[in-house]
C-alpha cells in the first residue's frame, strides 16, 4: 500500500468510523466491505452468541454474550445487543430461543452522532450485503412530522420533539434508525436496530401513536 493510500485510509477512518476509538485498531478494509453477517434476527440465540464471540470488531469481554459494551471514557460508549424480544414496548414471547432484534447504540459527547455514522456502523458490524439491503430499503415511516412537532410543543415535551427517526423495509430486514437531535448543538446519542419484517407492524404502530 502506497504512503498516499495509507494516509487516505487513516483520514477516512478518523472521519467516518463511528465506534469508540478503542475499536479502530481492530478494523480493516476487508472487514469494512467484505465481512459477512453470519447471525441476524431470525436465527437461534446459540448461533448469534457464537457469532458475537467470534466477531473481530465486537470482541466481547468475559461474561458478555448477547450484550456487548465498550467505552473509552464516560463521554464515549458503544453497545451491541441481541434480543429475543420484539422491538418497542416489551411484550411476552413464548419463543426464547430465536433472536428477533439486534441493536447498535452509540453515545459520543465529543464528536456527536449522526445518521451517517450509524449507517457506517451497520456496515462495519454486518458487512456489505446488509448495508446494501439497508440502502435499497424503502422508508415507510419518518418522524417527526409537523403535526407531531406541534403537539410536542403544546405539551411541552422537548424530548419527543427532538426525536428524529425512520423505519426502512429492505428485502431481508427492517431497519429502525433514531437520533435525538436537540434544537441547539449536536446530537450525542443514537441507535440503529435490525429487526424481522414480521415485527414491522407492531413497531410502526407504536411509533405512530407514542
Task: Note the Cα 7 to chain centre separation in Å.
Answer: 28
What is residue 14's predicted lDDT score, i.e. its pLDDT? 41
- 3-state SS class at 61: coil
Rounded to 5°, angle at Cα 71 from 192 and 36: 45
Comparing 2-6, 34-38, 161-165, the range with the smallest average pLDDT is 2-6
103-158: pLDDT as tens digits: 999 999 999 999 999 999 999 999 999 999 999 999 999 998 666 665 655 655 65
What is the rounded distance in angstroms from the CA atom of residue 149 to the CA atom of residue 147?
5
- How many structural domains compose the chain? 1
For residue 134, what are the domain limits?
A: 3-209
77-113: pLDDT as tens digits: 999 999 999 999 887 788 889 999 999 999 999 999 9
Are the CB atoms for 105 and 189 separated by under 8 Å? yes
51-62: pLDDT as tens digits: 999 998 898 999
What is residue 80's predicted lDDT score, i.e. its pLDDT? 97
What is the rounded distance in angstroms from the CA atom of residue 164 to the CA atom of residue 181?
6
What would the mean pLDDT of 160-179 be, rounded to a whole number? 91
Q: Could you tell me the strand order of the sheet in which 138-143 lies?
A: 67-73, 76-83, 101-108, 189-195, 174-180, 163-169, 138-143
Amino acid at each position: 500500500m502506497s504512503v498516499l493510500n495509507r494516509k487516505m485510509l487513516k483520514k477516512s477512518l478518523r472521519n467516518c468510523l463511528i465506534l469508540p476509538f478503542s475499536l479502530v485498531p481492530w478494523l480493516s478494509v476487508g472487514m469494512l466491505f467484505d465481512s459477512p453477517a453470519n447471525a441476524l434476527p431470525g436465527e437461534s440465540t446459540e448461533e448469534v452468541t457464537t457469532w458475537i464471540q467470534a466477531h473481530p470488531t465486537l470482541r466481547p469481554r468475559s461474561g458478555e454474550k448477547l450484550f456487548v459494551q465498550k467505552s473509552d471514557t464516560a463521554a464515549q460508549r458503544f453497545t451491541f445487543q441481541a434480543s429475543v424480544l420484539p422491538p418497542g414496548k416489551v411484550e411476552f414471547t413464548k419463543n426464547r430461543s430465536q433472536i428477533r432484534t439486534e441493536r447498535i447504540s452509540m453515545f459520543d459527547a465529543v464528536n456527536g452522532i449522526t445518521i451517517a455514522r450509524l449507517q457506517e456502523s451497520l456496515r462495519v458490524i454486518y458487512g456489505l450485503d446488509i448495508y446494501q439491503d439497508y440502502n435499497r430499503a424503502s422508508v415507510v415511516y419518518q418522524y417527526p412530522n409537523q403535526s407531531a412537532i406541534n403537539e410536542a410543543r403544546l405539551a411541552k415535551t422537548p424530548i419527543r420533539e427532538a426525536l428524529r427517526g425512520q423505519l426502512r423495509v429492505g428485502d431481508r430486514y427492517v431497519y429502525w434508525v433514531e437520533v435525538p437531535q436537540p434544537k441547539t448543538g449536536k446530537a450525542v446519542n443514537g441507535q440503529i436496530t435490525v429487526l424481522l419484517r414480521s415485527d414491522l407492524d407492531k413497531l410502526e404502530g407504536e411509533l405512530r401513536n407514542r
